[in-house]
């Protein structure tokens, strides 16, 4: 099938490359000439494991193309995907649909045959109706069906998610559109991916509901982590035991510095705005958003307690992106934490395997370093902020020798506490108590786990 993809951001580029890999002929559209030139050379503008190789294969197979003219892509396409950004508006939590509307107008002008316009951008309920109205006003003669086809890509695993989706949601009441989308996704449904066809508004709400539930789970396990600290339980054991319940599952039950990224904060805000306008309050989601905000704001207090104050201290941040296996800093905890640490009088150094280029722009005043050991040189405190696997494999004895004060705050529970203590560190995790095996280590080293919720003095 011939496919057009409007937008070569995260969703558009992954979608286009994966559809080309599945055998379709895909033409991706973008307005950035420099970006298009690089994409034609196989150079991706973002880091996502496996994406570079998939783009290169699509180019070599002549199934993946990049153009700047929407009309060229749309004229022969059977399906046109709208994959443009829907950022949160500056005022309030409403999604900005400006790029979606522009894409709809440009698509309308280029339609030549029966075409399915699939909205893959995350949009508020009812946006499909608006897109269809825009197209029909400008092209009353157009033979077109607008469907909702939300994406469920996770940064860091997006290529695999696209190739082996756990579900494909298509929102349409048009039989022809349903058949076209079924043919499009036949390479995936033939290997077991479920295709769920529903009405357009329900499909739009599926995406928001999924992200809202995940945000709620993250916010809730973080509060359970605080409770674990207060009562002497271990949140890792709690989360494992709870996650074995098939009604709950282990996903999104990892305590940490709070959720971030391009989806959960934006989509939660947009869904709350939708609920307010509809007069159907989402009180649980509102509480989760508030809890997540408090979580990020409270990180400075946690770190200050572990460091015994921040004035004239040097703090090293290990990880800056909102999660591992991405270069994305959108809504990352580092964007809240680093400026607050600087304001509190600390010097801040940092290292991230993939996020340094963007961090230099977004975090002025933070010293960016070449590796984790260089970042910790002369530091009073190291903070594991992102769950990059290489931080779990740090040589703690070597790290200890680089630091002025051997203190470690592990906001991802990535490092084994016993190993940290035996290497000479005072250790502070999230929701972890002092297990029996650390009692001996504490006696041997004079150090132990710093109780985050109470005092900065080692136990």
Burial 114-134 (b: 16+ CB within 10 A, else e): ebbbbbbbbbbbebbebbbeb
For every residue of 326-374, DSSP letters joined together read ----TT-HHHHHHHHHHHTT-EEEEE-SS-HHHHHHH-TTPEE-SSHHH
For every residue of 20-55, DSSP letters joined together read HHTT-EEEEE-S-HHHHHHHHTT--SS--TTHHHHH
> Of these residues, 28, 162, 263, 376, which one is catalytic?
263
Q: What are the CA-CA distances from residue 165 to residues 17, 80, 159, 194 (Å)?
A: 15, 20, 10, 8
CA distance 385 to 159: 25
Q: What are the CA-CA distances from residue 459 to residues 96, 380, 446 (Å)?
A: 50, 18, 9
CA distance 157 to 155: 6
18 as an active site residue: the answer is: no
> To the nearest 10°, the Cα dihedral for 7, 11, 13, 17?
-130
CA distance 3 to 85: 19
CA 327 to chain centre: 10
What is residue 433's three-state secondary structure? Answer: coil
CA atoms within 13 A on the CB side of 338: 27
DSSP category for residue 256: S
CA distance 451 to 429: 8
Q: Where are the beta strands (DSSP E) in 127-237?
A: 144-148, 168-171, 195-198
With vertex at residue 310, the alpha carbon angle to CA 306 and CA 315, rounded to the nearest 5 degrees, is 75
CA distance 403 to 175: 65
Burial 12-49 (b: 16+ CB within 10 A, else e): bbbbbbbbbbbebbbbbbbeeeebbeebeeeebebbbe
Q: Where are the beta strands (DSSP E) in 149-190?
A: 168-171
Is 94:166 a contact under the CB 8 Å cutoff?
no
Which residues carry out catalysis?
263
């Amino acid at each position: 099938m011939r496919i057009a993809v409007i937008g070569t951001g995260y969703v558009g580029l992954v979608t286009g490359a994966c559809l080309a890999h599945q055998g379709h002929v895909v033409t991706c559209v973008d307005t950035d000439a420099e970006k298009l030139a690089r994409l034609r050379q196989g150079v991706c503008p973002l880091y996502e494991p496996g994406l570079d190789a998939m783009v290169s294969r699509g180019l070599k197979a002549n199934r993946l193309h990049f153009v700047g003219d929407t009309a060229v892509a749309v004229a022969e396409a059977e399906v046109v995907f709208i994959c443009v950004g829907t950022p949160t508006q500056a005022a309030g939590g409403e999604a900005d649909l400006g790029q979606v509307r522009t894409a709809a107008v440009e698509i309308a002008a280029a339609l030549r045959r029966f075409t399915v316009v699939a909205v893959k951008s995350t949009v508020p309920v009812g946006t499909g109706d608006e897109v269809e109205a825009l197209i029909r006003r400008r092209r009353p003669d157009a033979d077109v069906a607008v469907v909702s086809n939300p994406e469920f890509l996770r940064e860091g695993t997006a290529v695999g998610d696209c190739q082996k989706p756990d579900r494909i949601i298509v929102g349409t009441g048009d039989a022809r559109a349903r058949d076209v989308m079924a043919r499009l996704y036949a390479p995936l449904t033939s290997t077991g991916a479920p295709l769920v066809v529903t009405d357009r508004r329900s499909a739009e709400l599926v995406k928001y509901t999924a992200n809202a539930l995940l945000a709620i789970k993250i916010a809730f396990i973080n509060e359970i982590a605080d409770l674990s600290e207060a009562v002497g339980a271990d949140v890792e054991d709690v989360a494992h035991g709870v996650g074995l319940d098939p009604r709950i599952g282990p996903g999104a039950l990892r305590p940490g510095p709070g959720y971030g990224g391009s989806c959960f904060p934006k989509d939660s805000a947009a869904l709350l705005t939708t609920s307010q306008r509809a007069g159907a309050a989402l009180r649980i989601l509102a509480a989760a958003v508030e809890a997540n905000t408090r979580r990020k704001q409270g990180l400075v207090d946690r770190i200050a307690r572990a460091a015994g104050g921040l004035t004239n201290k040097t703090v090293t941040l290990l990880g800056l992106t909102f999660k591992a296996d991405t270069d994305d800093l959108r809504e990352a905890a580092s964007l809240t934490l680093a400026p607050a640490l600087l304001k509190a009088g600390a010097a801040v150094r940092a290292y991230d395997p993939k996020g340094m280029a963007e961090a230099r722009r977004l975090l002025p005043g933070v010293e960016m370093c070449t590796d984790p050991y260089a970042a910790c040189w002369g530091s009073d405190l190291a903070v594991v902020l992102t769950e990059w696997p290489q931080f779990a494999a740090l040589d703690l004895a070597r790290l200890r020798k680089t630091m002025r004060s051997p203190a470690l705050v592990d906001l991802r529970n990535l490092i084994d506490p016993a190993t940290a203590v035996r290497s000479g560190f005072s250790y502070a995790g999230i929701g972890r108590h002092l297990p029996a095996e650390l009692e001996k280590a504490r006696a041997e080293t004079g150090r132990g786990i710093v109780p985050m919720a109470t005092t900065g003095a080692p136990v």
